[in-house]
Amino acid sequence: MNINTPVQLNVQSLAHDFLKVAQVAAIAAYPWIGKSNKIQSDGAGTEAMRNQLNFINMSGKVVIGEGEMDEAPMLYIGEELGTGQGPHVDIAVDPVEGTNLMSKGQDNSLTVIAVAARGSLLHAPDMYMQKIAVGPKAKGFINIDASLTENMRSVAKGLGKDVKELTVMIQDRPRHDHLIKQVLDLGASVKLFSDGDVTAAIATAIDEMEADILVGIGGAPEGVISATALKCLGGDFQAKLVPQNKEEFDRCIHMGLSNPEKVLLIDDIVKSEDCFFVATGITDGLLLKGVRKKEDGTMLTHSFVSMGGRTQNYQFIEAYHK
């Protein structure tokens, strides 16, 4: 084999390596729960994540994340990680998804990572993104250019439900008041959340979590991560980047997005089936239990792993760390 030939991506093996990354980052963030210090908590999770990522035999590149090159210690867009040996992969990360929640000791904070074959994940700035997400049974029944009212009627048809039986996940922000009104006008249920829309997106694909649609405007990094998770779970996701000013618009152009405001389908955001998603709970939440410390110092973690390709499965993993 030519030494320049990219190494085949073994999703299952690499997902195991990244599971350890998420676990280590969550444990590092654990001491900062409820300490009202977002910077220190984010820094602790980021530093632990970076150190563990650099042990992995891969040539990894952060294609979207919350850090910029001049904002150390954040994992910045374009940062290269790993030993440089092994598969070439794109990485989208959030070492502490729900930093506000964690700093206040609240639920639903977790560490999240999405990985795919190099060149597969959307390369975009850290900015706002309009999103709509559903699980496998409603795949093909969403249209981000349509109103939420139209989407709800379509999704209800796909799910074989009355529209009044739907539950819609919406971040509790004034910018979403018009969406909440549309849900209530149809007699459906709203499930509001304060931060962390990755969990809310995944909820649409897991029956036990009793959510049918995620809709709203949130961070682009979380959007790419959510799209990867949903691709692995067989769900659907559509998005549009929402530049807030000319500088953000120009940055999109500079990063290769010729039309920054075009509709992005799930296969535009995650172009390969060779992908996976990993999350570890920091505080208790809708998806995962938080980190726990036993009397003997042993740390307990609860993680979620979902892989794309032919497998399309997910696992909940409880682990003990001495």
Query: What are the binding residues for substrate?
Result: 97-99, 128, 173-175, 195-197, 219
**Count of alpha carbons within 13 angstroms of residue 116, beta-carbon side:** 27
Can you give the three-state secondary structure of 31-45, one letter per residue? HHCCCCCHHHHHHHH
Structure tokens at 235: 């769900």
Integer Cα distance of 110 and 98 in angstroms: 7
Neighbours of 284 (CB within 10 A): 17
Structure tokens at 216: 């709203």
* Binding-site annotation: residue ranges for Mn(2+): 42, 66, 94, 97, 222
**Count of alpha carbons within 13 angstroms of residue 208, beta-carbon side:** 3
Integer Cα distance of 136 and 168 in angstroms: 16
Integer Cα distance of 308 and 272 in angstroms: 9
* Binding-site annotation: residue ranges: 42, 66, 94, 97-99, 128, 173-175, 195-197, 219, 222
Integer Cα distance of 209 and 162 in angstroms: 18
The residue type found at 206 is I
Integer Cα distance of 234 and 90 in angstroms: 20
| φ, ψ dihedrals at 315, nearest 5° | -135, 145
